[in-house]
Amino acid sequence: ASALHPGIAPISYLLGTWRGQGEGGFPTINSFSYIEELHFSHNSSKPVIAYSQKTWKLHSGEPMHSESGYWRPRPDGTIEVVIAQSTGLVEVLKGDYDAEEKVIRLQSELVGNAPKVEKITRVFQLIGGDLSYVVQMATNATSLQPHLKASLKKL
């Protein structure tokens, strides 16, 4: 692996593999539980972190959703994230990071190839060494509300 680019230092706590359990729901679906693994890595001469995610059904271990993308922090405290989901949905998210509080807040600027989905927000926070997040979405039928939340431990 190459040396850390100084531009990713404010969010370098993400680097590594995280695993834990999540809970999903939405007004229009049955709630569900899942196991999730996130992997953040840096191997670039640019200030970019590569991201990949996999999920499994909690009880059966059957694979569920997966996604991958790139996180691009900027020196001014803003951040841009692109994600491609296994369902075909693509996201461009913009937001900001707080290096002290270790919070990253993202909201979609573009959601493509998913006609029902109008907006996605993702908030990540490091709390007591665990990485927690909440994903919310708005669809053509439902206002912005939580779809996913999880708390993950670093392996």
Q: Based on the shown chain and the rule CB under 6 A, indicate whether residue 153 belongs to the binding site for ligand HEM.
A: no
52, 90, 101 from 67: Cα distances, Å: 6, 9, 26
Q: Which is nearer to ligand HEM, 58 or 126 (CB)?
A: 58
How many Å from the N-terminal Cα to the C-terminal Cα in the chain? Answer: 18
HSE (CB half, 13 Å, CA atoms) of 63?
A: 7
Coil, strand or helix: which one is 8?
Answer: helix
Q: Based on the shown chain and the rule CB under 6 A, indicate whether residue 34 belongs to the binding site for ligand HEM.
A: yes
Q: Which is nearer to ligand HEM, 47 or 67 (CB)?
A: 67
| Single residue of 64, 90, 126, 134 touching ligand HEM by CB under 6 A | 64
Name the residue type at position 41: S
Q: Based on the shown chain and the rule CB under 6 A, indicate whether residue 32 belongs to the binding site for ligand HEM.
A: yes
Q: Based on the shown chain and the rule CB under 6 A, indicate whether residue 139 belongs to the binding site for ligand HEM.
A: yes
User: Which string of x and - marks every residue 77-116 that binds ligand HEM (by CB under 6 A)?
Assistant: ------------x--------------------------x
Distance of alpha carbon 148 from alpha carbon 136, whole angstroms: 7
Q: Which is nearer to ligand HEM, 10 or 95 (CB)?
A: 95
